[in-house]
Structure 1
Amino acid sequence: MATIKEVAALAGVTPTTVTNVLRDRGRVGDATRERVLKVVAAQGYRPNLNARALVERRAPTIALMLGCITNPFYPEFTLQANNAARRHGRFLLVCNTDYEPDGGTRFLADVAGSLSDGILVANNGDLRIDELKAIQATGTPVVISIWEFPDDPPGVPCVAFDSHKAGFIAADHLLELGHHRIGALIGSPKNGIHGGRYQGFRDALRARKVKHVLADARFCSDSFQSGFDAALDLLSAHPDLTALFVSNDLPALGALNAAASLGLNVPDDISIVSVTDIELASQSRPSLTTVAIPTAEMAEQSVELLLKLIANAPDVPPVVRTADPVLVKRASTAPVRKS
């Protein structure tokens, strides 16, 4: 394989010009750029990333720590984060802890300051904030993404969306359709990661003077099967419910199947609304009405915030707020059917 000096000699330019062409920076004329790229292609030149890291004194990667890669949301978020990292000339190193209690600790210890210049942590509701602060204290920047409580920052730089507003919008949609007997499936403990979504839902009902009691709610894990089981239990216990609020799309898809198992038609017999808007939400039958959170924007802002911290940029905010969630109306909700 040719070296950068050999490519430069064959193209009749300096090694710096070759570097500028490959990184798309600096002032390089179109003719020169084309000549360099032809030589690069002909010689099969590939940059030595290890050598580059030594010269620039920085790793070519940023790291992303996930709780569970099998949850469809996280691959979608990872794709957007990877695209953002590549636009900034970085590679994304992904670690899936699979919700193991010590998985994140081992990952942080192995990666921080060696394999990666900084760490992006996707919030899964089970973060060890003290560990993240300890890593930060060693000089490795850390950013929490998908933080759900923008008015209650975690003490580590974060990118946050308004989960309370997402729950409020979902409930308000059902109320506008005339539903007053509305159940809730929450994909976390009551005060867990989806607590803000559930509080927004309850506040919307309270604003319309619609009663909601804990007996009309079920708390489950954020999975298809758990949503199926919880919906089956709730709808069997309370057949008078005309609608369900589900705090996340994956258990909502399980709820769709549970309704079908009970012989209920969605949305004629039971309307279902959720939060997130993963790709599967538009592909289910019926398609799922959901409150979309700005996944791509969160990924982009998280990468940019982390890179600012790595570069020691001044005046980096402790919390970056995303755009507000937006209702996406699909086929799983309809006006309440009058008896």
Structure 2
Amino acid sequence: MSDQPCPVRLRTSLEGVPAYTPGKPAAPIEGVTSYKISSNENPYPPLPSVLDAVTTAAQAINRYPDMGVVMLSQALSDHLGVPVEQIATGTGSVAVLSQLVAITCEPGDEVIYAWRSFEAYPIVIALSGAQSVPVPLDADHRHDLEAMAAAITDRTRLVLVCTPNNPTGPAVREDELRAFIAKVPQDVLVVIDEAYLEFTTQDTVPDALALAAEHPNVAVLRTFSKAYGLAGLRVGYAVAHPTVATALRKAATPFGVTDLAQEAAIASLRAYDELEVRVKELVAERERVVAALREQGWEIPDAQGNFLWFPIGDDAVPFAQACQARGLMVRPFAGDGVRCTIAEPEANDRLIGSAAEWLATRPRP
């Protein structure tokens, strides 16, 4: 059957949809512990209290989950200090992003975002039939918000601001984001994607929830996959004006957020103090690794997530291959650079050593 031609007529727009490239698992090397630092995963296992919540919820997996995700929505409302009607959940922030595009864009409408930024943006936009308007990052690998404002047209329906920016690392400042929002037409939705918010230490990081409270056309996108370490359970959420949040709930996959994910997220919110200790340890590791790499001569951009960025252009793939040969799986973006997750200290040390070895055989960047 696989050898037969398929007569099914598929959407022509699929031809322009780029494929998402996930981080590959670490290849085994005899006598060497391999590490995967290509997917921005949290290296810590779930907290015991979170595992207990998942184990209890698993005893009822013969039942459908709560379609309204009521308990988690209320827990988020309490945790964030926002009305529950402003909360909308989904199966990871990528799913909520897809819902945001679905509720704002007709075919041919435009979505503006910085580039390079989160790899899923152009995929989700293309699948919806909307048009991507990528705006190049500035020389410091940051959002060029002035250029993004200038790119807005009467076809623009959505603007995405990823802060800290994945994969390059820098976060936008409060003052520049406020100035940007003031330039955006009120009927255009601005989404502040804060998947890595918990790892930021920059004192000028925007108060996105305050901005959403002040501006009905601002929404905040967050996830439990990174700092909370629940990547395998797929749960994210948005905070938005009640009209937008209601539309997001309409666009959500029915029963998408499982009870296991809901209970784990609620338990994680309760254990936030314990999780914050882990986040601080990862931030300290990030600062250690960035300092060591800069000492070697690398020009590493400001790193505000749980990862760092090597802006090495055409050397991205060869550098990743050299790391792989040392038992270290990193994430290359061909022609742009390499993103490396901050992981176990041993993995981080392997990265520092791999980077030094690369410099010993290549011109200094």
Quickly name the TM-score band, shorter chain normalised: 0.3 to 0.5
Normalised by the length of structure 1, the TM-score is 0.34
- The structure that has the greater radius of gyration is 1
Instruction: Output the TM-score relative to the length of structure 2.
Output: 0.32
